[in-house]
Amino acid sequence: MRTADWAIVIFYVLLVTGLGVWFGRRQNNIEDYFLGGHSIPWWAALMSLIATEISAATFLGAPEQGYTHNLTYLQFSVGTIAARFAIAFLFIGAYYRFKVYTVYGYLLARFGLGTNTTTASVFMLGRLFADGARLFIASLAIHVATGLPIAQSIVILAFAATIYTLFGGIKGVIWTEVIQASVLIGGSLILVNSLLGHIPLGIGQIVHEIDMAGKFQVFDFNMSNWAAFSNPYNAVPAIIGGFFLTMATHGTDQDMVQRLLTCKESSEGKRSLWMSGFIGVGITCIFLFIGQLLFVYINHLAPTDKMAMLATQMKAEGHNNQLILHYIVNVLPVGVTGLVLASVIAAALSSLGSGINATSSTVITDLYQRYVRKEAEPTHYVNASRVATIIVGCIDASIALAVSYFSSTHASVDLLSIALGVMTFFYGGLLGIFLVAIFSKTRGNTVTNVAGVVCSILAVVYLKNFTTIAWPWNIVIGTFITIGISLLGRTPAAIQASFAKEDAASYAA
């Protein structure tokens, strides 16, 4: 990579880190550090949510889908948009009424300490694995651009994300993500413009070629050979699985919900949530289109062209996900390469920073405050949160190294399946418990809730390793297993009474 490109990338990383520290100054307690003092405008929370959703997995994984397959990934959008309206109606208002620091505080009131601790721990496991996968995918950009080994690339990104999260808190995360969302969208539009300029065809001819290759197919209703159960991009598992996965990620995952809790009122958080669905689909379409354009571009190169030879090599190695990075590094002009790589890093830092902050907030408020230091000065908890942030960043890096090894030995697994599939191990249990909490006021207790979560995780592990069931079904099956077992228990009368009193008071407030 050329000197000017290096300068742009380094400047951007330093700028984001500095802004994170600046925006996060004067944080005196954990409400400031984790909820931003409920002072974040709804549009900033919206941009932050988009920046987190459109991670490096989307920046690299969606073009891979457009290049090698078609638009069937968009089927997940049908379920994800519907789920956002359901979450806004069922969950967000309850979280605001109970004034929780983390979403698992709601389960503390509903079921007691045992369920609160269990769900918080399950979230942390799921988030650590998901962030490790995100970190690995993002490190591919540095690896391809610089030639550095994957391990070093992972460490560099983890260090940068940890530093600006360490000093910035949720304010630093959100306001830097507003900038990063803009950079991310700008980078994608630069890629579209560049590819259109390098393809020796008019737009009508490009569209015709994409269409003739079958790449405009959005819905796959093929039901032969049990495709609805074995193909993750079949319409049935994609739509249903997309609904359940989004219900879990945006309704029970502290990483996503946290920024929705930073607004002044629940109505603003709800608006940020449902609007992000439509905007996110539009951005995903851009990245899928980039993959389609890359397909046409490669088809019109001479066999001896460097990019054509790279495409052949990437296909043989099962690394089609890296082809867009090679285009960025080898085809874009000097300076523009640095800008687009900065947008890839923006996607990585935004998702990693928010994940680290969400996990550390859960460690402090749901574990440390309840079991280690129940009474302490507010500044003590802020300092403890920063220590937790460093630990979480190190664990994320370790998991990313493990995911790197998995990817090297399973080259046929695409990036989006790695990023989304890892979430299904844990989120079925989380979503099941929350649904029982919302729809029933008398069923579920610590024993049946914990048993439901454990059985859900074990069931998904079995499905993943010993069956050919498509990964979107994992979270659906896991959710219903958890609900079925949780409903076997009855909530203790004392907790029922305490929750009813607190619930009534929350409406009166």
Residue 123 resides in a domain: yes
**What is the pLDDT, as a whole number, of residue 417?**
61
Residue 441 resides in a domain: no
The CA distances from residue 384 to 57, 70, 127, 177, 361, in Å, are: 31, 47, 20, 24, 10
CB atoms within 10 A of CB 149: 13
Averaged over 119-137, what is the pLDDT?
A: 83
**Tens digit of each residue's pLDDT (9 = 90 or more) over 165-202:** 776 666 767 777 787 778 778 888 989 999 999 999 99
Contact criterion met (CB below 8 Å) for 115 and 434: no
CA angle, corner 417, sides to 412 and 422, nearest 5? 120
The most distant pair of C-alpha atoms in the chain lies apart, rounded to whole Å, by 75
Contact criterion met (CB below 8 Å) for 453 and 480: no
146: DSSP letter: H
- What is the domain range of residue 35? 3-408
**24 alpha carbon, distance to own chain's centre:** 22
**Tens digit of each residue's pLDDT (9 = 90 or more) over 57-108:** 677 778 888 998 889 989 999 999 999 999 999 999 889 988 887 788 899 9
Both tokens assigned to 133? 């996968």
Give the range with max mean pLDDT: 17-21, 56-60, 225-229, 238-242: 238-242
Q: Which residues pair with 490 in a beta bridge?
A: 443
CATH no. for residue 23?
1.20.1730.10
Pick from 41-45, 71-75, 302-306, 502-506: least confident:
502-506
Residue type, 424: T
Residue 393 resides in a domain: yes
pTM for the full predicted model: 0.82
The rounded percent of the chain whose pLDDT value lies above 70 is 90
Count the domains in the chain.
1
